[in-house]
C-alpha cells in the first residue's frame, strides 16, 4: 500500500513538472504567455528583406528572433544597412513589455496598441521620458503577416523633431 502511494505521488510529480524547465534541482515553473507575446513568437527564426525609408533610400535588413529564458523572453537581433540593434519582448503581469536598444542611442519602450490574428502594432511607452522635439527614437512599430513567411514591418521614428515613416518587407529564411 505504501509503495503504491509513493509511486502515485512520484508519477503525479513527474507528470506535473514534465514540461517545466529545471536548472539543477530548481523548477523554473510553468510558462504562461500573453496573446501578444504569442503573436511575436510567430516571428521566431531568421528574416531578410529590404527597408524602405521615407527619403526613398532602400537598404538591406535582417532580423533573428530567438526564444530564451525558459520561454519567457524573445530577443531580436535587428540589422539595418549593417548596423546591429537589439529588442527584447517579455510579459509582465500578462502584458507584453518591449524594449528596443536603438542605434540612435535611445532605448524606447513600447506597449501593444492593437492586436489581431494577422498583426500586432506597438506604440511608444512614455516611461523612458523621451521628447520628440529633443530626442531621436522609434515612436511605433508593427508587423503585419502578409503570407505564411512574409511580413510587412511599419515603423515611425522621431528624427530631429520630425516624425518619419518607413517600412520593411521581409521573408523568413530559416
pLDDT per position as a tens digit, 8-24: 434 444 444 456 888 89
- Beta pairing partners, 114: 121
Q: Is residue 9 part of a domain?
A: no
Positive or negative torsion for Cα 125, 128, 133, 139: negative
**Residues 6 or more apart in contact with residue 14 via CB below 8 angstroms:** none
* Tens-digit pLDDT profile for residues 83-121: 999 999 999 999 999 999 999 999 999 999 999 999 999
CA R_g for the chain = 20
**How far is residue 42's CA from residue 31's CA, in Å, rounded to a whole number?**
17
> Is the pLDDT assigned to residue 129 strictly greater than 50?
yes
CATH number of the domain to which 39 belongs: 2.40.128.20
The answer to whether residue 15 is domain-embedded is: no
Domain that holds residue 42: 31-172
Predicted local confidence at residue 21, as pLDDT:
84
pLDDT mean across residues, the chain: 90
Cell for 40? 511575436
Amino acid at each position: 500500500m505504501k509503495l503504491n502511494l509513493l509511486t502515485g505521488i512520484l508519477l503525479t510529480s513527474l507528470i506535473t513538472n514534465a514540461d517545466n524547465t529545471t536548472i539543477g534541482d530548481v523548477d523554473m515553473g510553468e510558462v504562461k504567455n500573453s496573446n501578444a507575446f504569442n503573436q511575436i513568437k510567430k516571428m521566431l527564426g531568421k528574416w531578410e528583406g529590404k527597408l524602405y525609408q521615407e527619403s526613398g533610400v532602400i537598404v538591406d535588413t535582417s532580423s533573428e528572433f530567438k526564444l530564451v529564458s525558459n520561454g519567457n523572453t524573445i530577443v531580436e537581433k535587428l540589422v539595418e544597412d549593417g548596423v546591429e540593434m537589439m529588442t527584447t519582448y517579455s510579459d509582465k503581469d500578462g502584458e507584453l513589455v518591449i524594449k528596443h536598444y536603438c542605434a540612435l542611442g535611445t532605448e524606447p519602450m513600447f506597449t501593444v496598441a492593437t492586436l489581431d490574428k494577422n498583426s500586432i502594432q506597438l506604440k511608444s511607452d512614455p516611461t523612458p521620458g523621451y521628447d520628440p522635439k529633443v530626442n531621436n527614437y522609434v515612436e511605433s512599430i508593427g508587423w503585419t503577416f502578409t503570407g505564411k513567411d512574409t511580413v510587412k514591418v511599419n515603423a515611425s521614428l522621431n528624427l530631429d523633431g520630425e516624425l518619419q515613416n518607413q517600412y520593411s518587407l521581409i521573408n523568413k529564411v530559416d
